[in-house]
Chain A
Amino acid sequence: MMHSDQAVTLRMTKGSDKHAIENTEWNTANPAVVLRSLHKSFGAQRVLDGIDLAVGSGETLAVLGRSGSGKSVLLKLIIGLQKPDSGSIRIHGQEITSSNVEAVNDIRKTMGFLFQHAALYDSLTVEENVAFPLRRNTKMTTSERGDRIKELLAGVGMEGELKKMPGDLSGGMQKRVGLARALALEPDILLLDEPTAGLDPITSREIDELILKLQEERDVASIVVTHDLHSAKVIADRIVLLHQGNAVIEGTFEELERSDDEFVAEFFKHDS
């Protein structure tokens, strides 16, 4: 994890009709993910309107915002599941918006993605779900793969559920298996889409602890999309708040909490 003194200071400027970050200086010497002037629209609906972001290795960035503010779209753009209308996405310095499918697939192998609803393959068992990226992208022998699967599932407390089908698991258990699958290829970048959404507080805290444990054990750059302010406070080094397609404010949880901006204050009002 990054220390708070390494985190960026609060940057917020007020435009004529909206807040925007201007003259952003990246706080990271070695950014794993850099987004510049990212625009994305669906028909007439403008979802992202010139986002600039950077996340360094070992850093965890939480992305907050109202529903429909483009948080999940942002993650899908980073992993290349959707294409931006304009702007730049660099992963470890490599531009992915202009790369071909094979190059993007190679970059994807350095990333882990936990989907909002886990997106486990419902025709495969828990074991086969975690084995999927290993079987496709590594030359592990069956026994090596088996050991790795057990290690990954033990890491998320699911080692006893190898043969279960996703349909037999609770939402929290599915998220854990999804996290194990996302970590299978030992990614450098972890993208987590609402890892605690729909979970009870105890399971949510367990997922947070898992993410913290990962940060301690490995130098992973994480981007976590969440509505859970408590989770953001616990796991994130830095927080960015999206509103109307823009990153309106960026800083540590405490800095955002102290903000006197109306929208930010409203967003953080219910946190206690």
Chain B
Amino acid sequence: MSYNARIPRRWISQDAPQATSLMRFTLTSVWSPINGFLEWFGELGVFVWQVMRAAVRRPFEGRELIRQLDEVGSKSLPLVALAGAAIGAVLALESRYSLVRFGAKSMLPAAIVFSIIHETGPIVTGLVVSGRVGAGIGAELGSMKVTEQIDAIEASGVNPYKLLAFTRILACILMLPLLTLAADFCGVAVGWIVDTLAEPISFHKFLHAGFAGASFSDFLAPTFRTAVFGLIIGMIACFQGMRSEGGTEGVGRSATSSVVLSSLFVILADVILVKLILVFFP
């Protein structure tokens, strides 16, 4: 008697998937998201190429660039400054608690300054801007796409990749380092205020102790790596906005995906850039 003969026939459903179709189903389930991801990257590559081609041709859209510098820079400043200040306060409180326990209270200004200018200032600025600006660009361009305004620009003989995308990307690249400086300053200033409330110290002494062992490269490389964050935020937000479809729902999806993807890629880029900075600016 064969093995199959012992299985009652009613147990074997006629609808049960065969081994080959089960394998095909599994492969499709695995391949589909990978395929979607690769397709997204391919389209992003084409988009970047079109923006780069448009960027080197006249006119250079100075008016629109200034408008975007204001939109990305000035309007993000209060939020970035507040986030920097909050991080400074938290760092001062946490560091004091830890350093006092280990008898290294004198290292407190250096701990606050170093952690702010090296990591927390740049990454907090990157994430705050990816939230505010990424969502704004994604929603604005998405809305323009679904209402055919981008088509209308193109129909006027104007390249939308330059007018809309390049100006926003460049504004993000230029403004992120400046916003990071603002976040760093607010973080250090509020760190000093919190520290001086617990144990009075002049701002001059605090800064002197904080920057005692620091060189210019400690400050320069971490600050300017945010230009890469700006590139990522601008590029992803413009890309997601300009490929938006499906009415208001599509605009919502573009705004959300702009924030999620740009934040994710900012964090991933941070990991790589920190390693590179440690290698090239030891």
Give A residues with C-beta under 8 Å from B: 76, 79-81, 101-102, 105-106, 108-109, 111, 113, 115-117, 119-122, 132-133, 136-137, 181
Contact = CB atoms under 8 A, between A and B. Distances in A.
Nearest to B57: A102
A181 B154 CA distance: 13
Interface in B176-234: none
Contacts of A105: 157-159
Contacts of B154: 80-81, 108
A109 B157 CA distance: 6
A113 B154 CA distance: 10
Nearest to A82: B151
B155 A113 contact: yes
Nearest to B54: A101
Interface in B140-179: 143-144, 147-149, 151-159
Given A80-B154, A109-B156, 15 more contacts: A81-B151, A105-B157, A106-B157, A108-B156, A113-B152, A121-B144, A121-B149, A121-B152, A122-B143, A132-B158, A133-B156, A133-B157, A136-B157, A137-B156, A137-B158
Contact of A137 (B53, B148, B149, B157): B157
A79 B155 contact: yes
Contacts of B153: 121, 132
Interface of B: 53, 57, 143-144, 147-149, 151-159
Given A117-B147, A119-B147, A108 B155 contact: yes
A127 B196 CA distance: 56
A119 B156 contact: no
A136 B158 contact: yes
Contacts of A116: 148
A20 B249 CA distance: 39
Contacts of B53: 101
A2 B158 CA distance: 33
Contacts of B158: 105, 132-133, 136-137
B151 A76 contact: yes
A119 B157 contact: no
A24 to B, nearest CB: 27
Nearest to B158: A136
A111 B151 CA distance: 14
What are the 8 A-B residue pairs with the smallest beta carbon separation, nearest first? Answer: A119-B148, A119-B152, A108-B157, A105-B157, A113-B155, A109-B157, A133-B156, A115-B148
A105 to B, nearest CB: 4
Nearest to A107: B157
B147 A122 contact: yes
A181 B57 CA distance: 25
A101 B148 CA distance: 19
Contacts of A181: 152
15 contacts: A101-B53, A102-B57, A105-B159, A108-B154, A109-B156, A111-B155, A117-B147, A121-B144, A121-B153, A122-B143, A132-B153, A132-B158, A133-B157, A136-B158, A137-B156
A200 B114 CA distance: 67
Contacts of A106: 157
